[in-house]
């Protein structure tokens, strides 16, 4: 009885009314039409990690709609294949370049960077979006000996950025900027 009363008090303190309210759409000046405010990306190369769902998928879709060549850096999985197929169906003529990149393996990250150099060495890459991430996994090491979450979310992205820096510099020199 006391726990229930205390939980009721906590709920009251934090504004819980006992009624479930579904998430409400939030109108903002930033997200409602962000795709229409993006500049034309024709001729630009955008490399994105983790674009099978969520933010990465939306980023890949927006860039493909604006004419960018989108390098989709994902683990080899049915989800990666499905995401590419969905984008290709949704955006006829989309320029999609799937590249296998498992952030739980430094060797895979280096291989993905080599694939980027091979495909885009002459033009460079204009945008590197380090989006992929994992959370709430059990505490376990990767093959490289690091915590799986630390390596996936931080160390492998740092390695990828380091390996891609010359490609970013090349695009910046050719087209004025790279990110």
Q: Are strands 127-129 and 69-74 parallel, antiparallel or unpaired?
A: unpaired
Average pLDDT over residues 78-96: 97
- Residue 13: the pLDDT is 52
Examine the pLDDT at 78 and tell me if it is beyond 90.
yes
- Residue 16: the pLDDT is 52
* Distance in angstroms (rounded) separating the CA atoms of residues 143 and 100: 17
Q: Are strands 95-100 and 69-74 parallel, antiparallel or unpaired?
A: parallel
**Looking at domain 34-174, which of 3.40.50.800, 2.40.10.480, 3.30.70.20, 3.40.50.720 is its CATH number?**
3.40.50.720
Where are the alpha helices (H) located in the chain, listed in sequence order? 2-13, 34-37, 54-65, 78-90, 106-120, 148-150, 156-175
Residues 6+ apart with CB under 8 A from 76: 100, 102
**Model confidence over 24-51: pLDDT tens digits?**
565 665 565 778 888 999 999 999 999 9
* Distance in angstroms (rounded) separating the CA atoms of residues 107 and 30: 38
Residues 6+ apart with CB under 8 A from 141: 147, 148
Indicate the pTM of the whole model: 0.81
- Residue 7: the pLDDT is 46
**Model confidence over 133-156: pLDDT tens digits?**
998 788 899 999 999 999 999 999
Q: Which residue has the higher pLDDT, 23 or 135?
A: 135
Name the residue among 178, 42, 167 with its Cα closest to residue 114.
167
- Residue 3: the pLDDT is 47
Radius of gyration of the chain (CA): 21
> What percent of the chain shows pLDDT beyond 90?
75
Q: Which of 3-17, 46-60, 97-111, 161-175 has the lowest mean pLDDT?
A: 3-17
* Local structure of residue 109 (DSSP, 8 states): H
């Amino acid at each position: 009885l006391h726990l229930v009363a205390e939980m009721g008090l906590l709920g009251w303190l934090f504004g819980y009314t006992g009624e479930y309210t579904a998430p409400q759409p939030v109108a903002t000046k930033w997200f409602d039409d962000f795709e229409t405010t993006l500049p034309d990306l024709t001729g630009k190369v955008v490399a994105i990690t983790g674009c099978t769902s969520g933010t990465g998928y939306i980023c890949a879709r927006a860039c493909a709609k604006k004419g960018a060549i989108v390098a989709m850096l994902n683990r080899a999985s049915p989800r990666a294949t499905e995401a590419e197929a969905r984008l290709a169906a949704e955006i006829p003529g989309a320029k999609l370049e799937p590249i296998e990149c498992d952030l739980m393996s430094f060797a895979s990250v280096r291989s993905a960077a080599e694939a980027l150099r091979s495909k885009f060495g002459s033009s460079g890459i204009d945008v590197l979006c380090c989006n992929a991430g994992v959370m709430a996994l059990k505490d376990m090491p990767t093959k490289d000996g690091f915590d799986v979450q630390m390596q996936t979310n931080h160390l492998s992205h740092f390695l990828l950025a380091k390996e891609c820096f010359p490609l970013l510099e090349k695009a910046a020199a050719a087209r004025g900027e790279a990110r």
